[in-house]
Every structure is written in structure tokens, then in C-alpha cells.
Chain A
Amino acid sequence: MSTATPTAPTTVPSPRPTEPSQSRAARARRWLLAPKTLIIAAVAAIIGYLALVPLYYLVWGTFFDETGFSFGGFSRAYSANGIGDLISNSLLFAVGSAFLALVMGTGLAYLNVRTDVPFKPLFFAASMIPLIIPGILYTVAWIFLASPDIGLLNKALEPILGPGFFDVFTIWGMIWVEGGHLSPIVFLLMVAAFRSMDPSLEESALMSGASRITTFRKVTVPLIRPAIVAAILIMVVRSLESFEVPALLGLQNGIYVFTSRIYFVLRSYPQDLASAGALALGLLLVAVIGVFLSNRAGKNSKNYQTVTGKGFRPRPIELGRWRPVAGALIVLYFLLTVIAPLLVLLYTSMLKFYRAPSAEAFKSMTLDNYRELTNLSQAGTALKNSLVLGLGTATVVMLFMSIAAWIVVRSKSRLRMVIDQLSFVPLVIPGLVLGLALSFVYLRSPIPIYGTLFILLIAYVTRYMPYGMRYAVTSMQQISGELEESAQVSGASWWQTFRRVILPLLAPGLVAGFIYILVVSFRELSSSILLYSPGKEVLSILIFEQFENGQFTVLAALGVVMVLTLVVLVTVAYKLGAKVGLKSD
């Protein structure tokens, strides 16, 4: 019904101005000018525009060179030495990391939202930390922890397990580090899903004699399937694209993955955009199939609509004698994925250079690196710009994607599949290519945003649209249509319904997406580096510069400061989010 080009019909005069057709024209005009139509059309147009600009650039760059149409990029990209190993390594790494992150993230979310597990306050802020630590620091922290040569864990456990028990430079080490780094995405998605789930279904199962595990397997998991599918989809694509972990851990033992190749083809001159594009289009294919499957898993079914007109109040399940076990598991998770790497960073940030802990090392500790941070000329500007961009991106994305999610899940529009697929496209476009595409367009566009923060905002909104969309769609699929129908029957307009009924019900998912985007936009580097201008630096650029300078210990200090800043921000966001969303207790 709705369409992206609302102008044409209004200007066409009716051929025969009879009474009924006039009223039809008037109805059409009313429909076209209704807020609902306008908003939907605008959101659809914006998503299309944001996704198609870089996609067009990528496709054009992949198939056309000076001589015209060519498949050269594909043959160069997919005929390299050892492409078979490359594909199997990439897939094992991606699927392994996604699976690990899924298990950890879902388990934690379930315990946190649905049970009376101990240490809850600790949970939220702390579970965000792997997400906040820049990938390069997180990975190097793990080298210091689990390298067979210098790893602290290996040294500590050597008397029990023998030398070099943990080896981070294997595919399993890579999966562990990447999975740990990704698990917060799943955690956030799943927290939202569990929050919106009516626990009476589980209670019925328990009352009918099912064990807790059976209930979880047969009732809980099927109910949150849309969220699980979304999480798997995002994580597989993300780990296929991940760069730091394969570059720092895989290469040492010659484990090559896709992104190592994208790196090689993009750094050459003249840039081999065609090969990079061919690899990215391979990822796009995976993603398109994934979105399709995800929709089949979540759409046209009322099975997942757990938020209905019936009131419910999520009540935590009492774990009973399992409570200490769950508590211990959580403590272990934190020790391993949060505390250990963070301690290594904190330790490194107080040294002049990294060395194994010893009395001498502790004696040499200073706060010089932190002092150096305050001397960085652009630190203040960068922090301010990152805050503006992070908050702006998170707000814009979640607002638009909540409307887009409504179109995709609720409307009967034929455009809905297209919008869903388009919103996912940016996930597979390498950041550098996005940067190239945007500078290409806005250097030639009459809109003077090249060289301003606004071009970075567009880049960030484009990059994080897919995540926002998954968060919003997943939540939308859980909300029953009958709530909107009731509102409309009671005389509310579409916009009133959306604002007063849908948005509050979506709140857990929207807050989760908001926080995720806020955090990751602090880290965005690959498109920012090409698009920023003097005076418009962002934090990730400073991180990159400290890294290039060889100031690893200063970088660690910067990482610690970022973690603290974002923990505060995330806590505030949750406090605000708790006010609008469903109460968890």
C-alpha cells in the first residue's frame, strides 16, 4: 500500500470529475498526506538512500574497470593461493565464535533477567566491558594472558597443567577471544527478548511437571527464536569481517581468513576495489540468505508474540540450590572475559613498557601514561565529538529503525521485504569502502557536509543501521498486533498508537540497541579515518594514533579511560531506559 514516491498521483487530474471519483481523489490525497504515509515513506526513502549509495559504489567498483564490465575482481579474489583453507578457516572461525558468543550471551541474559541469580548489579555494566575495549587492546591483552611463551595464565597454572597449556594463537584461541568480544551483542539482544516474554508459559510447563532444562529447551528457546536467529546472523557476518583477532592471533601460525585478504587487496595502489568488492559481495550473499531465513523464522506467525493484551509481570524464577552454581559461573565468566583482560590493561597502563609482573615491575609503576593523555592536543575535542556522534547515531538509528521494524513486521506493504534487506546491506560493506563511497558522493554533492561532523554521522548511521534493525525487528516480532488494534479501535491515530503504545513496548529492545550503538560508535575507525577533518577528530582516531606512535602503554591508559567513560554512560542509559521500559522486577 505505502509507497516511496508519494508525489505523482496527487498531481494527476481526474479524467471525469464525477462525484465518486472526486471523493476517491480526496481520499487518496488524505491518505498521501496522512502522517503515517509521510513518515513511512520518509523512513523507507532514507534507508534506501543510506544503503544504496555505498552498495552502488561497491557494485560499480566490483564489475567495472577502465575497460568496462569485468569479472576480473572475482577471479583475482577467489583464485588466490590456498583459497580453500581460507574459506574453511573463515567459516570455522565465524561459526565457532558465533556459537560461543550465543551460548555465553544467552545464558547470561537468561540468568540475569529471569532468575534470582546473585551479583545482578555488577552484571550490566560489567557485561559491556568486552564491547567497549577496542579490539586491538582486547586481543593484545589476551596475548599477554594466554600466549604459550609469555602468557600470565600459563605461567600461573604451569605447576598444575604444565608449560604452555593455553595457546591463544590457534583457531580455538581465536574463537575464544572473538566469541568473548562478541558475547555482549547477544547478551543485549537476549535481555530484550527475555524481558518481553510472558513467564506464565514457562510456569505452566513447570507446573505440568517439566524439568527446568526441558522447560528452557522446549518453551523458552522456541519463544525467543527470532532473537536467536538475529544474533547468529549478526555474529557470523561480524566474525567473517573481524580484523584484529585474525591479524594478531591467526597470522602467527599462518591461519589466514577472508579479512586478511581484504586487507591485502585494499592497501595496494591502484586500489583493487574490484577484488575487495568481490569478497564483500560474497558476504552479502551470506547475509541475504540469513535475513531471508531470519524472516521465515520470525514472520507470519503469532508464535513469538509474547507481549499481548494480557497483562503480565515478569517474575524471576527461584534457582534454589542452583543459585550458588549460577553465581559461580557468572563470577568465572567475569574473571575470564572481563576482569582478566581489564587487569592486564590496567597493569600495562601504569608501566613504561610491558613486562611480566615482578617486584621490579610493580616498583616502576607510574601514572605517567594518564598524564600524557591530558597532554594530547585533541583529547577534549575528540571526546566531545565522539559523544555527540555516539548519542546522535544511537538516537537516529533506533528511532528510524523502530519505524522500519513496524513496516517490516506489521505493514502489508510490498516494500517491506526490500526495506528489511536494504537495512542489512551496510553490514557487509567494509568500513573503508563506505568511507570512499561517502566521500565520493559528498565531494560532488551541493550539500556542504564534506569536512563536517555530519558526514561522520551519516557514515555511522549507515554502519549501525543493521544492528539497530535487528534489535528493533526482534522486539517488534514479540509484540502482538492486538494491542495496536485496540488503540486504533479506541480512536487513536497511527502516530499516537506508535508513540504511546508501540514505542514503550519496544523500549527494552530499543534501549539495548541504543546502548550497543553508542558503545561501538566510539570505536568506529575504518570509515572515520578517511572522513574526519582537522578539528573534527574522534576518539577512535586518537587510539589509532597512539597505536601508530608505538605508545602501547598510553594506548592501554586510553582504553581504561574509555571503559570508565562508557560504563558511566551505559549505566545512565539503563537507568533512563528502565523508566520507560518494562520493569524487570
Chain B
Amino acid sequence: MEKGLKLTDILVTIIIALIFGIIYKLWGPLYGVISTLGLHVEQLIYGMWFIAAVVAYLIIRKPGVALLAEVAAAQGEFIFGGEWGVATLIFGLGQGLAAELIFAAFRYQRFDMIVASLAGVASALASLGIDFYYGYIGDLALWNLLILFGTRIAGGILISGIFAHLLVKALEKTGVTNLVRPASQEDYKALG
């Protein structure tokens, strides 16, 4: 087998990423509207911005896919004129890297909801880390900062953990995932 990702893997990852890139772009105004409610309610939907990494990885199940997907989705959001401009690329890189590290920590062997949720948490933490420099969030009142942390992490688990996992489960039923996942040893053995 060829080393690294095949062209089919890359192209499929990127199309998934771009679909979410469009959603990322549309998510911007929605996030803006919700945030007018105050008290970081909008953070509950922030987790959508981590989903590309998790979904692409759960579909293709190969190393490198999560990082590529999140960077590509951010690049997509940027090309489509996302409201955060280049900042998106930095967030994408950080969030993708965080998710990738979680999947790597499980040696790319686990594809369940718990791992997906952990990736969501990791991405949330990465985005919060960047926000310390970017959004001065360290200067928020402590109680407010804690709400921000709590809601963003919860949103990460909810959307890019649980929802992403359910989405891929539903997609598996359609049979399309067989197209892109690596063949198993048993398949080769069955050739006799």
C-alpha cells in the first residue's frame, strides 16, 4: 500500500471539509445573532467549528485526515469570505491539530462517541488558547470566563462529539463509507 493519504482520501476529505466550510461561513452570522442574547449562550454552538475534523476522520479513519479536514474547512471559510478573515486559518490549524492529537493518542484505532467528544474538547481548548492572545479573554471577569470555558467545551462535546458521531453513523447506513475506508486483512484473506 502507498504511504500516506491517497488522492481519493485527500479529495474526499477536502470535499467534506468544504461542505462544512460553507456551514462554517453560515454559522458566523448565526453565532452573531445568538450572541446578542448575552452570557455566552452563543458558545454552545461554537462547537460546529470543530466538526469537520471529527466527521472526516470518522468517515475515512486514517492518520492526518482530521488535521487536513479542519485546515481545509477553515481555508474554505476564508475563501468564501468568512467574517474572521485569516484568523480562521490559525484557529483551524490549532483546532485540527488538537483533534488529530486525540485520535493519534488512541493510535487511530477508536472511532466511538467518546473519542469524538474528546476531540471536541481538545479543539475547544485549542480555540480558547488562541483566544487568550486574540480575544483578550484573560481580561474577562473570572465568573464570565468560566462560563465561556464551560459553554464552549459543552458545545464542542455536543456538536462535534455527539452530533458528528450520530451523523457518521447515519452515513454508514447508506453504504458510502465502504468506498473510502481501507480494506481489512480479512478481505485479503478471503481471496484464498
Q: Do A and B come from one complex?
A: no
Chain A: residues with CB nearer than 8 A to chain B?
none
